[in-house]
A and B are shown apart, each in its own frame.
Chain A
Amino acid sequence: MNEVLRIALRNVLRHKKRAFITAITMMVGIALFIGFDSMMAGLDRLSIENMINLSYSSLKIFTNAYVAERDVYPLDYGIPDPGKLAAELKNDPRVRSVTQRTEFLGELSDYHNSLPVRGIVVDPPLDAKVFTLADHISGSFFGQRGNPAAGVDPGSLAQATNPIVIGSGLAVKFNLKIGDTILLSAHTRYDAQNADEFTVIGLLSSLDPTLDDNSVFITYNTANDFLDLGNLVTETDVRLVHRVNLDETVHDATAVAAAVKSGNPTLDAQTFKELGRAYFDLMNSKRSITIALILVILLIAAVGIVNTVLMSVYSRIREVGVLKALGFRRGEVVWMFTFEGIFVGVIGSVMGAILGILIDLYLIFVGFPLDKMAGSSVVGGLSFWGTLYGTWNPGMIVFAVLFGLAVATVAAVIPARKAAKMTATAALRFV
């Protein structure tokens, strides 16, 4: 076997250029695989972070009865003693912050046109610890962070009666700007119809169409009067301590949700993964397509290996005849050519892994500035902004290298078997 290896290795070295070019194809395939996977996983992570930051938090807690009718945002099933629940949650080291919200169905009107909206009642200081809406607001998020709007005195916003923050899409539809008033009507907790004028103090531009185009935010102070709410809380939102790995984040959220449910049988806790099930399904199918595409690149590299080994085989058919005449067995001839393919595959895979890891490290530590490159954008209903960071996925790197090696081996075995099948006389007569 040593001799077989020696001949194979020397043949690779003898045709350095040919081997190098094939290895480069392999390298590019594997590096693209690793880099692309890192970027796609990073993109997914970014989208998930956005969903957590803007809508889902890490997990939401409702009453079981509320979940059954959640589509219509009923004000009938408040969480009993939400303060106690929040205190319990904060004892868990995985929990970073907790807030409460109450959602209701409303209608926004400028006296000419009206649109149904989802109203979200928030506790601004606590809400800002769980969600990052304030970062995407021009004007004010009820005194929390926000980007000052041009020509608007922040002091005047704080004094506004019935302050409301609305999605920027709604603002466009009603031609509203900060400081304008708009009529909001809704059923109170006791099913009476109520309507009042609200002053727009902030415009939300999150790029999430479910928020920007049909959501309005008011505070519990306002809602207690407007909806006769009596501090009714329909959901508790929990922010967990940040984990680098998405799987760990999912694991933490699932564990906390399970703890809540087991300690409070009347409550239901849903993690961001459950709340964003549709997105995760889309993400998985998207990922399969991406992997399939990258596998095609590697298969193209495999064609390179087949070509290299075929060239090697056909230029050395007589040599096969000699080796067979000397007593080489068919299997040894197959191994000799297969080793050549494997050597090229190893060189290509290792170079590909090194280049892929370098690309990966760049993506992880420097990132890809999405907003500078393409501006903020919505892709397939998912919002992306900020810097896209790669994800460290050693399993995928190992997979890429092993796949590359497997492809190289299979690609080499096929022509090698063909060569080994020839009889010694046929091989010796081969011109």
Chain B
Amino acid sequence: MEPILILENVKKVYQKAQRSVEALRGIDLTIDKGALLAIVGPSGSGKTTLLNIVGCLDQPTSGSVRYDGRELGGMTEKELAVYRKENISFIFQSYNLIPVLTVVENVELPMVIERRYTKKEMRDRAMQIISSVGLAEMSDRFPRELSGGQEQRVAIARALVKQPIVVLADEPTANLDSHTAEEIVELMERMNGTRETTFIFSTHDALVQRHAHRVVTIRDGLIQADDAITDERVHV
């Protein structure tokens, strides 16, 4: 498989109350298209910072991030926003659905922002993906009417509806019970298999790690281990 993301010597330093905190201290990582990769490590190890940099929500202090051969470091904020909009989707630990929008409206939101679909197209695509996450009957409900697992399913549907190349998931199962977490991970694994979407998780959850094809362990801002899990698609 060809690499979709290449990180070279990526460092990130935060200034906090007149002292510098090194969140990432030189990360080298190559991620292939269609990977199912878990980033694990203790709290404060730099997992979320790494995801934010890959997702263009944050800029590295130094080092290079290349997406599909293109260097992201030289992009303006506007270009980064376009890159993010066209290629990347996010799944958050606390789902972060928009509470005043219904399930289907939440799922349509990324397409609304993209402004290249008709209303009917948006509705059809949204309903199709909602069905595939098993929530067709609940499309008109508001997030407050759903369980945590259902909310995360909607979040996954929202992340996948515009067919992104990469989905970044920050602790996607942290707020779910083990049974629901299993369902959610299986759902993401299925989407990874059928749509060839690249999934990158940050997680503490052993279950998520078990389903991943590759597990990268980070500690104190450095990669401590990078293990392929018996999957031929995974490159180390």
B97 CB to nearest chain A CB (Å): 8
Interface SS, A side: helix
Please name the 6 residue pairs, one residue from A and one from B, whose CB atoms are nearest each other, closest first: A10-B100, A327-B85, A327-B113, A322-B96, A3-B112, A424-B57
Output the nearest chain A residue to B168 by Cβ-Cβ distance. Answer: A325
CB neighbours (8 Å) of A319 from chain B are 96, 98-99
**Residue of B at shortest CB range from A429?**
B48
Interface of B toward A, CB cutoff 8 Å: 52, 55, 57-58, 81, 84-85, 90, 92, 94, 96, 98-101, 105, 109-110, 112-114
Q: Which single member of B99, B100, B105, B113 contacts A326 (CB below 8 Å)? A: B113
Report the separation of the CA atoms of residues A13 and B100 in the bound assembly, to the nearest whole angstrom. Answer: 9
Residue in B90, B99, B100 whose beta carbon sits within 8 Å of that of A325 in the complex: B90
Q: Which A residues lie at the B interface, using CB under 8 A? A: 2-3, 6-7, 10-11, 13-14, 318-319, 321-323, 325-329, 423-425, 428
CB distance from A308 to the nearest CB of B (A): 16
Chain B, residue nearest A319 (CB): B98
Smallest CB separation, B89 vs chain A (Å): 8
**What CA separation (Å) do A318 and B92 show in the bound complex?**
11
| A423 to B53 CA separation, bound complex (whole angstroms) | 13
Given the known inter-chain contacts A327-B110, A328-B113, please indicate yes or no for A425 contacting B57, CB distance below 8 A.
yes
B84 pairs with A327, CB closer than 8 A: yes
Complex Cα–Cα for A428 and B48 (A): 11
Per the bound structure, the CA–CA distance linking A11 and B99 in Å amounts to 9
Measured CB to CB, the closest approach of chain B to A309, in angstroms, equals 15
Inter-chain contact B96/A327, CB cutoff 8 Å? no
Contacts of A424 in B (CB 8 A): 57
A85 to B79, CA, bound (A): 84
Q: Please indicate the chain A residues that have their CB under 8 angstroms from the CB of B101 in the complex.
A: 6-7, 10
- The answer to whether A14 and B100 touch (CB under 8 A), given A327-B81, A327-B113, A327-B114, is yes
* A-B contacts, 25 listed (Cβ < 8 Å): A3-B109, A3-B112, A6-B101, A6-B105, A7-B98, A7-B101, A10-B100, A13-B100, A319-B96, A319-B98, A319-B99, A322-B90, A322-B98, A323-B98, A325-B84, A326-B90, A327-B81, A327-B85, A327-B113, A327-B114, A423-B57, A424-B57, A425-B58, A428-B57, A428-B96
CB nearest neighbor in B for A328: B113
- Beyond A319-B98, A325-B84, A326-B113: 8 further Cβ-contacts under 8 Å? A3-B113, A7-B98, A10-B101, A319-B96, A322-B90, A327-B85, A423-B58, A425-B57
